Chains A and B, each alone.
Chain A
Amino acid sequence: MNDPALHAAPLPALLAIRALAFGYAGDPLFQGLTLALRPGQALVLNGGNGSGKSTLLRLLAGLLDPDEGGVERAVEADGEPVALAWLGHALGLKPALTVAENLAFGACLYPRRGRMGRDPALAAVGLDGFAAVPVRELSAGQRKRVALARLLLVDAPVWLLDEPYANLDPEGCRLVDRLVDHQLRGGGAVVLSVHRAGQAGFAGPRQVLDLQGAA
């Protein structure tokens, strides 16, 4: 904090939202939204049901196109935009496949592996020894943990998490906090949505975007 050079040249943003506008059927949900997300920072989207948290996350992920403005991603050394990792309400797991098969497929969609292997990642989410179990035999909370483990397997500087705390017991919520902090410490960024501001218990620096006012 005492280094003046650090303040003079802030790290370039991993994700920049510029004058973003979006609405369903002419009913504007956001207008002129401008934000920059730097490495090591989290953006917490706070708002009730229907306030546009998921919509904003989908816009950031490129799953929706904005009406105006845009979302810009930093560019890696190889010329590709930084990779995004997505965790939505639907977890993207195949019930008929085992935990290991699901994770292997998820990891293969990314050109670079994360620092963690499969077994350490499973241990980190508390699913030690579940690698050969079909996902259909897991509970909703355990499935969510598998999806969280998938985040650890890939090298994606930006995580987009839609209500990561939903369906989890208090211990699971602390697990999400630990993972978010792990990602922030590693120089990544996280955007996550919550429906109660107090839910996000991680330690890292954050910006909070209150969407109730915007709706």
Chain B
Amino acid sequence: MRALFALLLRDLRLASRRRFDLLQPLFFALLVCLLVALAVGPEPALLARLAPAVNWIALLLALLLALDTLFRPDAEDGSLEQMMVAPAPLPVLAVARVTAFWATAALPLILAAPLFAVMLRLPATDLPLLMLTQLLATPTLAWIGAICAALTVHAGRGGALLALLLLPLAVPVLILAVGTLDAGRQGLPVLPPLLLLGAGLVAACSAGPFVCAAALRLGLR
């Protein structure tokens, strides 16, 4: 338990000393939204229809960009070896690392959703539901991403490999999340897809730490 808080504290300290790294995914997502808005042109109705999907894809790509920094710096400077040799259980350390990652990478993106929504002409009534799906689904994505990042941490060009591994695995989450918003717009019940997203969250948060620890050990060979 002490190790969990120590790692969390270390990561938050590191994040607070490199604020530019914190802004990077945010600017990236902003640019994706901006590019889509520019490419689609002045058609507010079409843009509004696309907005949830675009917002979600921007979030996913920004998370992917940030994922490369989840384990790689620790692997390169030897911190990961320290953590794996020490008696502190590796799944617990994975929880701390992924929680810090979620708080520094995913949370700012969720909080920036209103800004993206304005850019993409998303109706204000859809915004709470959009943010709720993001809140429910980003921890799941963070764990899936952490497992993929753990597997590729010692592979030379991890970035491209990570994208190829993660993006197909993220498809069900993406479909469910965007589907929830579609259901909301058509007046269908949104609770079932939200519950499914919640189930994914519970599954990812309970199995994720152990799978991630195993993947880190596998990645060493």
A65 to chain B, nearest CB (A): 7
With contacts A97-B10, A101-B10 taken as known, whether A85 is within 8 angstroms of B88 at the C-beta atoms is no
Q: Which of B29-37, B41-49, B77-85, B115-123 contacts A (4 or more CB under 8 A)?
A: B77-85
B78 and A89 form a contact (CB under 8 A): yes
How extensive is the interface on chain A, given as a class? 20 to 34
Q: Which residue of B lies closest to A154 (CB)?
A: B86
Do B14 and A110 touch (CB < 8 A)?
no
- Does residue A63 face the partner (Cβ distance < 8 Å to B)? yes
Chain B residues within 8 Å of A93, by CB: 77-79
| CB contact list, B44-101 vs A, under 8 A | 76-88, 93
User: A64-B221, A65-B221 are contacts. A92–B82 as well, Cβ < 8 Å?
Assistant: yes
A86 close to B (CB within 8 Å): yes
Decide: A80 near B87, CB < 8 A? Known: A108-B6, A109-B6. Answer: yes
**From residue 87 to 124 of chain A, which have CB atoms closer than 8 A to chain B?**
88-97, 101, 104-106, 108-111
A105 in complex: contacting residue of B10, B17, B76, CB < 8 Å: B10
How distant is the Cα of A106 from the Cα of B13 in the complex, in angstroms?
Answer: 15
For B14, list chain A residues within 8 Å (CB).
Answer: 94, 96-97
Q: A108 contacts B2, CB within 8 Å? A: yes
Q: Is B220 in contact with chain A by the CB < 8 A criterion? A: yes
User: With A and B bound together, what is the CA distance between A100 and B67 in angstroms?
Assistant: 28
Q: Does the CB pair B77–A92 fall under 8 Å? A: yes
Assembled-state Cα–Cα distance A90/B81 (Å): 9
Instruction: Return the contact of B81 from the options A83, A92, A95 (Cβ within 8 A).
Output: A92
A97: B residues at CB distance < 8 A: 10, 13-14, 17
Please report the C-alpha to C-alpha distance between residue A83 and residue B87 in the assembled complex, in whole angstroms: 6
A110 B85 Cβ-Cβ under 8 A: no
How far is it, in angstroms, between the C-alpha of A160 and the C-alpha of B86 when the chains are bound? 11
CB within 8 A of A109: which of B13, B77, B86, B221? B86
A180, CB-defined interface residue at 8 Å: no
The answer to whether B6 and A105 touch across the interface, beta carbons within 8 angstroms, is: yes
Given known A-B contacts A92-B79, A97-B10, A108-B2, A63 and B18 have beta carbons under 8 A apart: no
A112 to B220, CA, bound (A): 27
Q: Are B87 and A96 in contact (CB under 8 A)?
A: no
Closest chain B residue to A90, Cβ basis: B78
Whether A192 is near chain B, meaning CB under 8 Å from some CB there, is: no
Q: Mark B15-39, 1 if CB is under 8 A from A, else 0.
A: 0011000000000000000000000
- B residues in contact with A61, CB < 8 Å: 81, 84-85
| Cβ of A62 under 8 Å from chain B | yes
Closest B residue to A85 by CB, please name it. B85
State whether A96 and B17 are in contact (beta carbons under 8 Å apart), knowing that A64-B220, A90-B77, A91-B78 are contacts in the complex. yes
CB distance from B23 to the nearest CB of A (A): 16
List, in ascending order, chain B residues with CB within 8 A of A106's CB.
82
The reply to whether B10 and A63 form a contact with Cβ atoms under 8 Å apart is no
Q: For B6, list chain A residues within 8 Å (CB).
A: 104-105, 108-109
Is A125 part of the binding interface, using a Cβ–Cβ cutoff of 8 Å?
no
B7 within 8 A of A: yes
Are A83's CB and B86's CB within 8 A?
yes
Q: B129 interface residue, CB < 8 Å from A?
A: no
Once A63-B220, A96-B14, A97-B13 are accepted as A-B contacts, the answer to whether A110 and B78 lie under 8 Å apart by CB is no
23 A-B contacts, Cβ less than 8 Å apart? A61-B84, A61-B85, A63-B84, A63-B85, A63-B220, A80-B87, A83-B87, A84-B86, A85-B86, A86-B82, A89-B78, A92-B78, A92-B79, A93-B78, A95-B77, A97-B10, A97-B13, A105-B7, A106-B82, A108-B5, A108-B6, A109-B86, A109-B93
Binding site for B on A (CB under 8 A): 61-65, 80, 83-86, 88-97, 101, 104-106, 108-111, 160
